[in-house]
């Protein structure tokens, strides 16, 4: 299952994010803002528990988030979404997965993994701005499954139909949330129209 966020506030920011003239500072701010909107939509089914609350007028009840959450950015570009996720989920744990695409084949090459094993029914939220061939996302979810995670969501800013197709075929039970579903991958496995290399644009390494 995949969902494409459709909202004027998101579309406006995605257009600026794509613009080649957008400098890294603004790119990072836009990526963060879009991530917050994505998370708002994607986490509507978080479990909550009732808590007592005393207002200045009366005792009442409220709800607090009951899910334990592990955020999993795929290095390095996933770091561009982490601050926003931690802002809205300040008690989440963080695990990281390092992956670099082979420039010729686009196969992901895992180079680092530091994710706490699942202890129960935690929700793992994988974050990466780009879902292109789907190789990195699928590898990440495979690693999380081996660590015992059963509940997983994948959040990205821009996706390609090829990557969504591959991901959904292997993980039909892992929902994908994206701010834009683009047209196709070019011969270098880049998303078109896309935004170029997300990592380079976040870290200013173009
Ligand atoms: C980018 C992006 C994803 C991956 C997506 O990372 O951040 O992780 O490519 O492509 P895929 O769907 O074809 O696997 P990249 O390998 O460029 O590394 P970086 O984040 O270190 O720049
Ligand atoms: N990774 C990126 O950063 N951009 C793409 O278009 C594809 C993979």
Q: Which domain holds residue 197?
A: 2-203
- Is the shortest distance between the CB of 203 and ligand 2 below 6 Å? no
Give residue 135's pLDDT band: very low, low, confident or very high (50, 70, 90): very high
Domain count of the fold of the chain: 1
For the annotated catalytic residues, the residue numbers are 101, 105, 197, 200
Query: Which residue, 71, 37, 88, is CA-closest to 153?
Result: 71
- H/E stretch holding 65: strand 59-65
* Residues in contact with 23: Cβ distance below 8 Å, sequence separation at least 6, in sequence order: none
How far away, in angstroms, is 66 Cα from ligand 2 center?
Answer: 35
pLDDT in tens, 80-125: 999 999 999 999 999 999 999 998 999 999 999 999 999 999 999 9
Residue written as tokens 């509507």?
A: 44
Q: Across residues 173-189, what is the average pLDDT?
A: 98
> How many residues belong to the chain?
206
The domain that holds 83 is classified in CATH as 3.40.50.2020
Q: What percent of the chain has pLDDT over 90?
A: 99
Give residue 60's pLDDT band: very low, low, confident or very high (50, 70, 90): very high
Query: Which residue, 83, 63, 73, 57, is CA-closest to 130?
Result: 73
Give residue 178's pLDDT band: very low, low, confident or very high (50, 70, 90): very high
- Is the shortest distance between the CB of 17 and ligand 1 below 6 Å? no
Q: Across residues 158-186, what is the average pLDDT?
A: 98
């Amino acid at each position: 299952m995949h969902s494409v966020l459709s909202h004027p506030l998101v579309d406006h920011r995605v257009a600026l994010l794509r613009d080649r003239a957008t400098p890294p500072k603004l790119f990072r701010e836009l990526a963060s803002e879009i991530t917050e909107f994505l998370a708002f939509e994607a986490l509507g089914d978080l479990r909550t528990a009732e808590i007592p609350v005393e207002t200045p007028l009366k005792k009442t009840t409220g709800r607090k988030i009951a899910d334990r959450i592990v955020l999993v950015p795929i290095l390095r570009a996933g770091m561009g979404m982490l601050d926003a996720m931690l802002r809205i989920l300040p008690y989440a744990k963080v695990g990281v997965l390092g992956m670099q695409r082979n420039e010729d084949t686009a196969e992901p090459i895992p180079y680092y993994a530091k994710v706490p094993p699942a202890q129960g029914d935690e929700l793992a939220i994988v974050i990466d701005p780009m879902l292109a061939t789907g190789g990195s996302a699928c590898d990440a979810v495979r690693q999380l499954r081996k660590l015992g995670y059963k509940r997983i969501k994948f959040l990205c800013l821009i996706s390609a139909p090829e990557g969504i197709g591959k991901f959904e075929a292997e993980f039909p039970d892992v929902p994908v949330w994206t701010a834009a579903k683009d047209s196709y991958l070019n011969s270098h496995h880049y998303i078109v129209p896309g935004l170029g290399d997300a990592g380079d644009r976040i870290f200013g390494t173009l």
